[in-house]
Amino acid sequence: MARRFAREGLPVALIARTKETVAAAAEAIDSMGVRALPLVADAADETALHAALDTAAGELGEPDIAVYNAAVIRPDTVGELTHRDHLDTYAVNVLGPSLPPRTPCPRWQGPVEAPFPDVVHGAGQGR
């Protein structure tokens, strides 16, 4: 998705859990001659994710779109996951996608005219 925006000449902010992951993705975007802002945050950490979104807005301006591509996918049976595993999964899969619309960007306040492309499953299946 980021490459698609970069092909249009749009700068992108990239957020990943590890510095290595986001650096590699940013390098690919930078090689296209477009600015990529690599940021590190865990989608389950609301404070870190808010800070990353705030940094992105400060560096690149208010975003026009936010694509949330984090997901925890665990094959399990009923009763197999611990309480903590359930909470971590919920934080990433349910609470994380609700964060960009709750981020204090003036253009995102009040009614949103179009839905957010909040979750794109298939992380790691680059196109």
User: What does the pLDDT average to over 39-49?
Assistant: 87
Query: What's the confidence (pLDDT) of residue 45?
Result: 85
With a cut of 70, say whether residue 46 has pLDDT above it: yes
Query: What's the confidence (pLDDT) of residue 65?
Result: 79
Q: Which carries the bigger pLDDT value, residue 3 or residue 73?
A: 3
**What is the model's pTM?**
0.70
How much of the chain, in percent, has pLDDT values that exceed 90? Answer: 30
Query: What's the confidence (pLDDT) of residue 66?
Result: 79
Contact 14, 26 (CB under 8 A): yes
Query: Domains in the chain, please, with CATH?
Result: 2-108 (3.40.50.720)
Sign of torsion over alpha carbons 6, 65, 17, 83: negative
Q: Cα dist. 23→15, 37, 51, 93, 95 in Å?
A: 10, 9, 18, 24, 25
Q: Which carries the bigger pLDDT value, residue 59 or residue 46?
A: 59
The per-residue pLDDT for range 93-123, each reduced to its tens digit, is 887 777 665 555 555 555 444 444 433 333 3
Contact 63, 11 (CB under 8 A): no
- Most confident stretch, 21-25, 75-79, 89-93: 21-25
Residue type, 11: P
Average predicted confidence (pLDDT) for the chain: 78
Alpha-carbon distance 49 to 25, whole Å?
18
